[in-house]
């Protein structure tokens, strides 16, 4: 069983805020999902660890500079920007 405290800890890690009134419902939801996920533990582990799907290795890029993007483009989608920086303004 996942407790309220665990849900709050997970939410903090995931940077999601949970309102007190949401906590019961969310804990119930998460419990049913986690119980479902837990069924993997009814199967014995085999000697079959997974690496990557096509067993690729050593996919590299050469160390050659390509001009960076215009700063205007880089900042274009920022909710707030100033002096060429992304900005998070303090709010009171």
Partner 1 sequence: MNYELVCGLETHVELSTKTKIFCSCSTKFGGEPNTHCCPICIGLPGTLPKLNKAVVEYAVMAGLATNCKISPVSKMDRKNYVYPDLSKAYQISQYDMPLCRNGWVELSSGRRIRLNRIHIEEDAGKLVHDRGNTFVDYNRGGVPLIEIVTEPDLRSIAEVQEYVEKLQMILRYIGVSDCKMQEGSLRCDVNVSVRPAGQEPFGTRAEIKNMNSFAHMAKAIEYEYDRQVDLLMSGEKVVQETRRYDESSGCTEGMRGKEDADDYRYFREPDLVTILVSDEMRETIQKRMPEDPQKRIQRFLSEYQLPEADARLLIEHRRIADYFEAAAKGTKNPRTAANCILGQIFARLGTEAEKEQFNVTVSPENLHALILLLDTGKIRMNLVKSTLEKMLDSGKPASDFLSEKDLAGISADDLKAICEKAISDNERAAADYRAGKEKALKAILGSVMKATRGRANPQETEKLLADIIRR
Partner 2 sequence: MEQYSLILKLGKLLRSGEISCTELTQKFLSAAEKENKRLNAFVKLTPETALKTAAEVDRKLAAKEELPPLAGIPMTLKDNISTNGMETTCCSKILKGYVPIYDATVWKILKEQHAVLLGKANMDEFAMGSSCETSCFGGAKNPHNTQRVAGGSSGGAACAVAGNLAAFSLGSDTGGSIRQPASFCGIVGLKPTYGAVSRYGLIAYASSFDQIGPLTQSVADSALVYDAIAKYDPMDSTSSKKALPAFSSLGKDIRGIKIGVPKEYLEGIREDVKSALQSALKVYESLGAEIVEFSMPSIKYSLPVYYILACAEASSNLGRYDGIRYGYRTDHYADRNEMICKTRSEGFGAEVKRRILLGTYVLSSGYYDAFYKKAQNLRGTLIKAFEDAFAHCDVIAAPTVPMTAFPLNFTARDAVETYLTDICTVPVNIAGLPGISVPCGFGSDSMPVGLQLIGARFSEPALLNTAFQYEQAARSDVFRAVETGVAL
- Applying CB under 8 A, which of residues 1, 5, 66, 77 lies at the interface with partner 2? 77
Site string for partner 1, 4-43 (x = CB under 8 A): -----x--xx-x----------------------------
How far is 32 from 2, CA to CA, in rounded Å?
A: 10
What sign does the CA torsion over 69, 72, 77, 83 have?
positive
Helix axes 20-37, 4-13, angle to 10 degrees: 90
Chain contacts with partner 1 (rule: CB under 8 A): 9, 12-13, 15, 51-52, 55-66, 68-69, 71, 74-75, 82-90
């Amino acid at each position: 069983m996942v407790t309220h405290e665990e849900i709050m800890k997970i939410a903090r890690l995931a940077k999601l805020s949970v309102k007190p009134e949401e906590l019961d419902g969310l804990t119930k939801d998460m419990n049913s999902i986690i119980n479902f996920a837990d069924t993997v533990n009814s199967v014995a582990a085999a000697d079959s660890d997974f690496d990557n799907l096509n067993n690729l290795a050593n996919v590299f890029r050469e160390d050659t500079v390509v001009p960076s993007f215009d700063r205007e483009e880089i900042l274009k989608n920022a909710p707030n920007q100033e002096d060429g920086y992304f900005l998070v303004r303090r709010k009171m």
